[in-house]
Amino acid sequence: MGNIVVPRSRFASKRLLIMEFVDGTPLSRFGDSKNAGAGESTSSVFNQQQPVKLNRVTRKAAKIMLEKLARAWGHMIFSEGLFNADPHPGNILLMRGQKVGLLDWGQTKSVQTNLRHQLAKIIH
């Protein structure tokens, strides 16, 4: 999935999932009015090599992120048959080097092959 980062599982049981730490800024922090003005410009969001500390996402950066996320979910559903079923802004990180992190894999869903074929026909 290219620039999509998925943390590795360190421990898993029926009631607990522990995954490795992934450094980034959750999308839930963007546009937070409490932090308005505290961050830096997002004009070169994905080219930063320093930790990302932002409060707003430019249209260009948002488009890039959404394209990466759409490709990632397409890959998960159509190629793997399994996807992260909890994609909210707190579980999506903007990371250094044009990467996006996907957190909290405690909720996943599988898609059977026949349904994947039907979905592909609808999209195509």
pLDDT tens digits for range 79-123: 999 999 999 999 999 888 889 999 999 999 999 999 999 999 998
Counting Cβ atoms within 10 Å, is residue 17 exposed (0-12), middle (13-18) or buried (19+)?
Answer: middle
Q: What is the pLDDT of residues 23-56, one digit of tens each?
A: 998 988 876 545 444 444 444 445 555 544 555 6
Q: What is the CATH number of the domain that holds 28?
A: 1.10.510
Structural domain of residue 68, as residue ranges?
4-123
Domain tally, the chain: 1
Residue 39 CA, distance from chain mean position: 21
Residue 76: count other Cβ atoms within 10 Å of its Cβ: 20
Q: Is the whole-model pTM more than 0.85?
A: no
What is the pairing mode between strands 17-19 and 25-26? unpaired
